[in-house]
Structure 1
Amino acid sequence: MTIVTAAGLTRRFGKLTAVKPLTFDLPAGKVIGLVGPNGSGKSTLIRMLLGLIRPSGGDAMVRGESIGSPQRYLGRVGALVENPAFVPGLSARANLESLARLRGLPSARVDAVLHTVGLAGRDREPVKRYSLGMKQRLGIAAALLPDPALLILDEPTNGLDPSGIVEIRSLLAQLGTAGRTVVVSSHLLSEIEAICEHLVVIRFGELLYSGPIAGLLTSGSQHVDLRAEHDADTERLATALRTQGWEVFTSTAGGVRVSAGAHDAAPINRAAHAAGITLRSLNVVQDSLEDVFLAMTGDTDQQLMAARATEAQRGGR
């Protein structure tokens, strides 16, 4: 079952095509990551799905309704776009109660969402005393007021310190187990990998991947990291492995990396032993989501800047 379906969804700003024709389906009841380099159109896509801006072409269906008529589905959609805004001098509870009254929602929803986001014990404090992480949690509470089937969060961990990121990660994982669909836009790929089951990758408005994270990770490669018991044997270890036909790299930290998979671990160990070298460690490492993502989108800022310049030139023609 899908909750969002896009068919040729496009958005242009003058000569710039911010979102190229996108066609994808988002499954219901999943935590879904939306990722891409800065300037790739993630926020533009979110704004189209929320009816904040109109597409230049194509269409999308949210909960079975066209984004051309957002009033038909927004009552069951919650969203947090950019930094949440609240009245600083009012308590969290007072802010949420005002929002609930504006939307015609029962006051019981305020207690429910405060409990969900972990602010029930501090709900009567003025928001101006809240940390950034607490304000983000309050923003998510506001998005949860209508008990949405679909929750869309644009960079919910942006600007947070590590402890705040962990808090939001835990909250999103909890929301994902409650049966609702959560779409999270983020540039923190480790967080996306930790909480999401499904992934949409866009680069400069173009869809690169849409599907389960597991399916994308299988396109990555493995390597074997090892260290000799004595650092003085590092170069000799690398030479011994190269003579066996492996591609080998050494690091300034004293380790050796072999372009190989799990099936090569035992032969590598035997080759080291045959060379008279005892290993301190040997680890088979699967490419992370970040490794695969960078391989798809570009490893460095220079590569991304060059790609953006090319896109700009194409857009001008």
Structure 2
Amino acid sequence: MGVITTAGLTRRFSDVTAVEDLTLDLPETGVIGLVGPNGSGKSTLIRMLLGLVAPTSGSATVLGESIARPGRYLDQIGALVESPAFVAGLSARANLLSLARLRGLPGRRVDEVLQVVGLTGRDREPVKRFSLGMKQRLGIAAALLPDPRLLVLDEPTNGLDPSGIVEVRGLLADLARSGRTVLVSSHLLAEIEAVCDYLVVVRFGHLVYSGPVTDLLLRAGHRLEIAPEHDHDTCALRSLLAEQGWQVEETVGGRLSVVAEEHQSSAINRTATSGGITLRLLTPMRGSLEDVFLQMTGHAPSATHVTAAEKRVR
């Protein structure tokens, strides 16, 4: 049985369905990305898995236990849902010690988790002096206190600057290498592509894809970006390639994008030469995970427009 399984899992809020008939079987492996546009039901799914929201119908298991009995598995899970909340005037160490005592955990875990998240040496500073990235690290440290098998992080890079995103991304990779399974939700596809081994894509509560990131990237296909030596030859080059059966699109700067594998570069070059056109650019390009996401969902993952229905199911 996978680390998380669901069967027909559904959650409705009045007339809005946040998660609908979701069936998953997630492996116990590395970093699992849960991605989708804002309002796709990612947070609702996480809350159901943590026992914070009951499903309308369907079932699910976490670490082999039913979500109907979360008490049987929650001690093996660390979770960071939304922004971490700490006492601003207290130090990072004092905050973690307080949480450890509340959960009946040994104080030595505080030093251990501070080391894991890279806050050793800054742990006696008040949290109010911490950057957003450091606060996220502290939140992850709090989630790690029970030494969980499964770590669940809901949008851990939300609101961070580029350096903070890089920090958290590196931390997630380190946690996965330590043998834990990390489930991380995000709409930042570039970060998911960089750190995840397995991916779940949802759109308005429906499953769009579940599988290895490498398999999904194969759908992105390969392209060759080309440009003639003389700009006035661009239209003729496009027509020539299209006549030979190549799929061609014009991009910025007068360049052309041809759907083709890298090994087909010589054929493209010969076609251009046969028409008396010399190429000044012929570069292999691979589609990104974000390109595939847009093809599958019809929605840019980082779009800021959110409908009224989306707001209600976050």
TM-score bracket for the superposition, by shorter chain length: over 0.9
Give, in angstroms, the shift of residue 304 of structure 1.
11
Confirm whether residue 128 of structure 1 aligns to residue 159 of structure 2. Answer: no
Structure-2 residue corresponding to 1:86: 86
Give, in angstroms, the shift of residue 130 of structure 1.
0.4
Give, in angstroms, the shift of residue 268 of structure 1.
0.2
Q: Is the 8 A contact 2:29 2:181 kept in 1?
A: yes
Q: Is the 8 A contact 1:10 1:58 kept in 2?
A: yes
Give, in angstroms, the shift of residue 287 of structure 1.
2.1
Give, in angstroms, the shift of residue 85 of structure 1.
0.3
Consecutive unaligned residues of structure 2, counting only runs of 5 or more, are none
Bigger mean CA offset, 138-147 vs 291-300: 291-300
Q: Call closer, same or farther: CA 1:300–1:97 in 2, change over 3 Å.
A: closer
Identity of matched residues, %: 64
Structure-2 residue corresponding to 1:43: 43
- The higher relative CO (CA closer than 8 Å, separation ≥ 6) is in 2
How far apart, in 2, do the equivalents of 1:234 and 1:192 lie? 36
Question: How many residues get paired?
Answer: 309
Q: Is the 8 A contact 1:298 1:304 kept in 2?
A: no
How far apart, in 1, do the equivalents of 2:299 and 2:208 lie? 16
Confirm whether residue 278 of structure 1 aligns to residue 275 of structure 2. Answer: no
Aligned to 2:254, the other structure's residue is in SS state: coil
Give, in angstroms, the shift of residue 64 of structure 1.
1.3
**1:46-85 alignment runs, 5 A limit:** 46-85=46-85
**Which amino acid is 1:264 matched to?**
Q
Q: Is the 8 A contact 1:240 1:272 kept in 2?
A: yes
Structure-2 residue corresponding to 1:315: none
Aligned to 2:253, the other structure's residue is in SS state: coil
Confirm whether residue 206 of structure 1 aligns to residue 206 of structure 2. Answer: yes
Q: Is the 8 A contact 1:91 1:127 kept in 2?
A: yes
Give, in angstroms, the shift of residue 266 of structure 1.
1.6
Structure-2 residue corresponding to 1:190: 190
TM-score, normalization by structure 1: 0.91
Structure-2 residue corresponding to 1:98: 98
* Deviation string, structure 1 residues 91-122 (Cα, Å, up to 9, x no partner): 10110010011111111111111111111021
**Which amino acid is 2:10 matched to?**
T
Aligned to 2:142, the other structure's residue is in SS state: helix
Aligned to 2:135, the other structure's residue is in SS state: helix
RMSD: 2.2
How far apart, in 2, do the equivalents of 1:166 and 1:300 lie? 22
How far apart, in 2, do the equivalents of 1:134 and 1:190 lie? 21
Give, in angstroms, the shift of residue 270 of structure 1.
1.4
Aligned to 1:39, the other structure's residue is in SS state: coil
How far apart, in 2, do the equivalents of 1:114 and 1:250 lie? 51
TM-score, normalization by structure 2: 0.92
**1:156-195 alignment runs, 5 A limit:** 156-195=156-195
**Which amino acid is 2:240 matched to?**
A
Q: Call closer, same or farther: CA 1:181–1:248 in 2, change over 3 Å.
A: same
Structure-2 residue corresponding to 1:242: 242
Give, in angstroms, the shift of residue 300 of structure 1.
5.5
Confirm whether residue 6 of structure 1 aligns to residue 6 of structure 2. Answer: yes
**Which amino acid is 1:89 matched to?**
G
Q: Is the 8 A contact 1:92 1:138 kept in 2?
A: yes
Structure-1 residue corresponding to 2:257: 257
Give, in angstroms, the shift of residue 202 of structure 1.
1.0
Give, in angstroms, the shift of residue 263 of structure 1.
4.2
How far apart, in 1, do the equivalents of 2:304 and 2:215 lie? 25
Q: Call closer, same or farther: CA 1:32–1:187 in 2, change over 3 Å.
A: same
Consecutive unaligned residues of structure 1, counting only runs of 5 or more, are 313-317
